[in-house]
Amino acid sequence: MSKQRWKVHFVGVGGAGLSALARLMLLEGHEVTGSDLVENERTRELQGLGMPFQVGHRPTLIKGAELVVYSSAVPPTNQELQWARSHGIRIWRRHQLLPWITRGKKVIAVAGTHGKTTTTAMISHVLISAGLDPTCIVGGVVPEWGTGLRRGKGNYMVLEADEYERTFLCLWPYIGVVTAVEHDHPDCYKSSSELEEAFRQFAAQCTLLVMNTDTALGQLIASSFPHAVTYGSRLDAQRRLVEVRRAPGGLQLSVAGPNGVDELALPLWGTHNGINAVAALAVAELMGVPQAQAAAAIASMRAVERRFSIRGPAGGVYIVDDYAHHPTQVRAALEAARQRFPSSRIVVLFQPHTYSRLETFFAEFAASLGQADGAFVLPVYGAREQGDDRLASKLAEAAGATFLGDKGRAREVLVSYLQPGDVLLNLNAGDAVQLTPQLLKELECRQQGSPVRAS
């Protein structure tokens, strides 16, 4: 692609990753159209920028397109993709667009199975505060931007690098960050060794490397890259989280580095976010940003939406939206909740994401949910998969939780179950996040003694 104006159609444009790319293409003056199964806030924002949008997959808007870009959630049998193939239109997966999007930029790419969204947002926040004016692509909504994209005029681009289907291997970053790495995505990585090999290849493609060594896989990968800057909570990490203390509005961190121990205020919750902050400090140092300046930027950080986003209280109940969909992430969300709400009963509503993940990590999910004071399980959000619908009810039984067969019943049961002082963690990477505003409304009505109306 040259720098001429292109007509690009995005299939599945409502997703976090694809919508950010569509937005960037619009802002750079290209003609962009999009489609998805449903309209959402992201598609409405894109329409506000001038993007024609259609609900459903019909080859209406695709006519005249020079390029079609689609997300990993879109199957090859999609009607629009089939039409594009039959008419000789170039078709790219999302990751194939990234090398063109990043052309001429020094890329800081953040990969990892846990923590990459928040770490990408933190690094972006630090570099913006330092006046470097980067372009940033985050896989979630950053409150200061109202979207997952910030278009800057500087030479740097900060982006979240997704390991799913090895899409991050299209990048050759100036700085690569690898956050915590554990086996995930069993539908495309059949073993942890396959995942390890993909991350090794990503690390080898980075000019500079910042590597979390808290997991066994992280240690294995880092051992092959002696030039890497290591970080985490292990004693041998070059940048180490020494201590985490609860403070008003967040956490107080003690971080050990080459120049001693620094104190850092973090207005987020969870030790895992403390470790993410250490990664941001390490990148700042490589970029020549003074540590005091980086620490001040992190102290003004706000959580990315659906990354421990606190809502309420309503009827004396707080609800926390979190994207946790792996057993380690469930445990991290519970730990963060106990830090933020030390005297509360912590209740979990969990929507499993994909059948293959639930089946592979079934025992680990059951153990993680068992750490809550009360737990409820929804049916599996299959996304791109089909599977055994009995798995979710079996998980509830194994975890000592309650299975809720649909979201309507979940709303009814939870409004009755939750009491003033409780905290509900709504943990999902699917559509159960839609329950949060409904529950808040009904809990408020319950407190006021108003009749609750179904919506």
Q: Active-site residue numbers?
A: 116-117, 160
| Bridge partners of residue 208, in order along the sequence | 175
Report whether 214 contacts 328 (CB < 8 A).
no
Residue 434 has what DSSP assignment? G
Closest CA to 255 of 284, 228, 275: 275
Q: Phi, psi at residue 352, to the nearest 5°? A: -60, 145
Q: List the structure tokens of 434.
A: 């839609």
In sequence order, what are the residues at sequence separation of 6 or more whose Cβ sits closer than 8 angstroms to the Cβ of residue 40? 14
Residues shown for the chain: 455
Closest CA to 251 of 238, 265, 237: 265
Report whether 43 contacts 19 (CB < 8 A).
yes
Q: List the structure tokens of 2.
A: 């040259």
CB atoms within 10 A of CB 241: 23
Closest CA to 18 of 76, 69, 67: 69
Q: State the Cα–Cα distance between residues 69 and 9, nearest whole angstrom.
A: 6
Report whether 171 contacts 107 (CB < 8 A).
yes
CB atoms within 10 A of CB 441: 17
Residue 356, classed as helix, strand or coil, is helix
Q: State the Cα–Cα distance between residues 296 and 290, nearest whole angstrom.
A: 10
Q: What angle do CA 284, 286, 288 make, to 5 degrees?
A: 70
Q: Phi, psi at residue 80, to the nearest 5°? A: -70, -40
